[in-house]
Structure 1
Amino acid sequence: MDTSVSKAGKNAVLGFVVAAALATGFAVPALAQGWWPWSGGGEQQERPPPTPREPVYNDPYTDPYNEPPPPSHGAQPGRSPICLDLERRLVQEGQRGSANVVPQLEAELRDVERSYRTQRQQLERSDCYEYFLFSKTLRRTRKCIDLSNQVEAGRRRMDEIESRLHQLQASSGRSYQDEIVRELARNNCGATYQQQARRQDSGSFGFWEDQESSGTAGRSGFGSLPYATYRTVCVRLCDGYYFPVSFSTLPNHFQRDEDVCQSRCASPAALYYHQNPGAGMEQAVAASTNEAYSQLKTAFRYRKEYVKGCSCKVAEYQPPEGTLPPHGAAAGAAGGWATEGAPAGVDPGQPAFGGGQEELPWSTTTQ
């Protein structure tokens, strides 16, 4: 009897242990899920709702490889941040879509027009017409027929280019560029923008131009291309060697690039610029005189011969005898001149405003 009672007690204890283990196993996930009735005084613990992420908007027109970098902070002391931001937008607008093609077509149109006028004059001087009363008839000679065909081909080509230009200008977003130029003028960001805004408002892209705008366009190589961006290079005048200053910049920054050029070359140097994209050094002109680089006596001379003493390095440059040092320069070692440092606010390790991936002369090996 005692044995049976003992077995029954053991079975009861074993059953209680098993029941407790099962209850504990179910209780742990229940507590984790927050619905166990004895947890937290009967209050359910709800998970916080998911936080929605803000959509990331990418400008579909922005090309990360062509987008100009922002200007370095403090690069131009006293210049309004509004002006810098507007100029950045103007550069970006000029590099979008078909805007890069417009300057190339404009240059091609000028060349075709020049050739067309020359051929017309040659046709008139070649006695190729027979006149009767108020009419003229082409002489059917081989020479006259060839000249007439060339003139007609030139006229057709001009019509094709003008038609394409009209289409591109109507769809290239130039209206945005016009608005940005007007904003630059309203914020007093430079005389160039104010003059361009006046030309836009007076409709001077047609036949009529005000006297001030016409005079400015005649003196400036970039007057007819207000939206173009330019590459500036520093040209060493003794042998024509050049190095980049800015890869994509605006005319308002030419003076600053000129200061950088003068401060980084011991030998006499000058700032030149050409349209970018769409042109090269063959089309570059001096920022101060508008003289073409190709007309420089020493153009590309460094490719043909080594000019002794012609160097941007102070230790290697040897000025000609009797030459006075430039303003702000002092005598340096090895007969050279030690030029001034970089302009105020310019980091020697950074390119000028709008600079691209190209290295500057102080980080490259100059001759």
Structure 2
Amino acid sequence: MDGAKTSARMARQRFLAVLAAVGLSLTVLAGSISTASAQGWWPWANDGPPRPREPVHRGPPPAPVPPPNALPPPGAQPQRGAGSSGSNICLQLEQRLVSEGQRGGQTRSQLPKLEDDIRQNERSLAQTQNTLERGDCYETFLFVKSLRQTPTCRNAAGQLESLKRRVGELNAQRQQMLGTGERSHQDEIIRELARNGCGNQYVQEARRRDNGSGSPFGGWQTEDDGPKTENKFGNLPFATYRTVCVRLCDGYFFPVSFSTLPNHFARDSDVCSSRCAAPAELYYHQNPGADMRQAVSAKAQTPYTSLRTAFKYTKELVQGCSCKEAEYLPPAGEKKAEGPGTSGATVSASPAQRGPALR
């Protein structure tokens, strides 16, 4: 009896010991699982434990590439000559401005012919109206005036309506030339020239066109804004010009540029000096709309007509006055740089041999 009790007690002790061992194992396992979960790594996984990574330094993102031929944003203010891109922008804008001026000049040159057509059609309109009145082509009934349906009256009435339409179309074309034809893209181009620092004259003209609105280059008037300053390309301080090289000894001249801007006068002056052995000076006048009688010296700002030798080449032959190195004779007291093959004084070409080319 006692032996049976002892065996049962020992069995319970062994069972409790096993339970305690199992509980301890479960506790340790649970702690390992929570630690592995926090670290993101399992002991039986193929990968090793995570290693700390060094920070990667990335540079700023690249600037967006502008589309081809795109103008700079309004806030950009590059200085002219500071870089090739700024100079290129100014050159492109000036070329566009020259094109606008040439287009406006062509439009104005067509205006006299258009006005003559309007006058002729108005005369024909008045004559046709008189024909209808004298031909008794109208009858009145109860204060209503109606056309008599005779062949002659119907033909005259048809001509009258055609002339009215034609006069209306011509007047509309004239208004377009005087109004919207003059208001081309010049304001926009001038504004961009001013913003890109292409010259003080563009800034001044942009402010003038701003008409005192107080905003820099931003107050251009629209068609509904009421009275506005007349916008003619020929009146601009930087209108297109023709530059000519004037030979000072006899007033003879030859063209350098047919359509240019004051910003390019220095370049044209160098061209003038390089093309003539005799003393020469650059002159300019507006083109279209002027000729040598309105030409002005680019250096001294004096008119060509005030030159002592103005148009002298048309009246007499000045000996030794030539753009050719071999034929030019400097005035007395001045030395001529002679090269090999030159032998001092030579006789210049006869008037019959002179032409529009350098001489």
- TM above 0.5: no
Q: Return the TM-score normalized by structure 1.
A: 0.44
- Larger-gyration structure (1/2): 2
Q: Return the TM-score normalized by structure 2.
A: 0.45
Higher relative contact order (CA 8 A, sep 6+): 1
